Amino acid sequence: MSGPVHSMKIGGQGMSSPYPIVSQSEVAIVPVIDISGLRKTARERSLVVKEIGNACGRMGFFQVVNHRIGKAVMEGALEAASAFFELPEQEKRKYESGNLREPVRYGTGLKDGEEVTRNRRFFIKHYAHPLEEWITCWPANPPNYREKMGEFSTQAREVGLELLEAITESLGLGPTYLTRRMSGSMQVIAVNFYPRPHTPSPGSTVGLPAHSDYSCLTIVLPNSPGLEILDPEDSSWKLVPVVEGALQVHVGDHLEVLSNGIYKSVVHRGIINVDETRISIASLQSLAMEEKMEPAEELIDEDHPKGYVGSSYMDFLEFLYGNELGQGWSFVDALKIK
């Protein structure tokens, strides 16, 4: 059904890695779950649901295969992303904005006049559900961007809904507990581009600082290694291996809230790849813009009191206006009832 990826060192002594060196971190032991069993017999489904629940409970992260997004769709999205970031800077800056509520927003972690900074990435983010409402706001250049990214966005959302059904089932809430509220939900596509540094520095160079996602669930398609997760068991950074054909799945803050802390959102960061540029495409799924996520009443009792206040995607944006990502501020920590 699934297989762990065993720990090894890269960038130092020990087993060599087939991937470019991006970090001195140990490689994470991450479940790789075959989710085709969710669509088979009741027994097979229950086994996969248990696997997913165990992964959410341990580190809030896993990878999935047999998710029904074809290789051509994934490659098409990555190629469209690469083509966008190869455009002249003037073309990309058409979408630049400091307004976090803009449905399409381009930005960079680079500071003006600095060629190399600790936080180094470029990104474009855009709303993606319902697709027909937002796709005309997306970049029209390169010409196939909307088509290729739209195909991936639609299919990634379907994978997310299937996983959310399994996750709420694993909590004993039933498969439709959350998905019945998702028809008007938010989906944000965040496309991150980490250029190869001109002057590589030893060890890890952070492109995206440590954070957890506000979402219920985040599904990520990477083109190369560079994602590190914070292992809750020993508080160390672990490099996530790239598994061919797999998607990476993050538990987000709102799922931690829903589960009343049974599942934890995963703290992660993006690392610069010293040998090549790196691209990741993230599909973040949450409830509607102003709909608040609360802990499930079924998971609250005398021994497990309510641990979080309710919050919405809009609340998260307000939080960002006053707190800089990666500077020690955490959205989910701000929601915890002390």
Q: Taking the chain (338 residues) in consecutive chunks of 10 residues, what is each chunk's mean pLDDT? A: 39 32 73 98 98 97 98 98 97 93 86 47 96 97 98 98 98 97 94 82 73 96 95 92 97 98 95 86 96 98 97 92 64 92
pLDDT of residue 111: 43
Range of the domain at 41: 2-335
User: CA–CA separation, 123 vs 108, rounded Å?
Assistant: 6
Report pLDDT for 293.
97
pTM, 2 dp: 0.89
Identify the CATH number of the domain in which residue 30 sits. Answer: 2.60.120.330
Q: Residue 257 and residue 178: Cα distance in Å, rounded?
A: 13
Q: What are the C-alpha distances in Å from 71 to residues 68, 78, 153, 244, 284?
A: 9, 11, 14, 10, 21
119: tokens are 């936080």
Specify the pLDDT at position 16: 34
Q: How far is 317 from 17, CA to CA, in rounded Å?
A: 39
| Count of structural domains, the chain | 1
299 close to 259: Cβ distance less than 8 angstroms: yes
